Amino acid sequence: MKTRIAAGFATLAVAGALISVSPATADAAPVIGTACSNKQANDLRYTARHQPTVCAWMGAHGGHKWVRTARVDPKVRKLGSPCNNKYPVAKTPRGKAVVCSGGRWVYGP
């Protein structure tokens, strides 16, 4: 009888694990409007539909969330290098979003 009860709990535990919702992994395509981590802050990534998005701080009550960005330069750009406003956003070699401001690639607001 004890064996059946133990087996029943094991089955319930496995079934519970199958239906539980786990947070997205760092490698999963982000979903605009969902939470992201402090570690992902300013990361420039693409959604499953190839929409550029960045992990941005939305304030104390909003936390970090994936938000849409403007058009992204297809070239990887270095922080502080010159830009010409053709593309408002670019990605650094480290995968961070930068914006074109004052003729230079800088971290955004």
- Angle among Cα 46, 97, 43 to the nearest 5 degrees reads 60
Average pLDDT on 58-69 reads 94
Mean per-residue pLDDT, 44-63: 95
Q: What is the pTM of this model?
A: 0.71
- In the block, tokens 């004890």 appear at 2
Query: What are the extents of the domains in the chain?
Result: 24-69, 71-109
User: What length is written for the chain?
Assistant: 109
Burial 14-52 (b: 16+ CB within 10 A, else e): eeeeeeeeeeeeeeeebeeeebbeeebebbbbeeeeeeb
How many CB atoms neighbour CB 4 within 10 A?
A: 8
For residue 99, name the pLDDT band (cuts at 50, 70, 90): very high
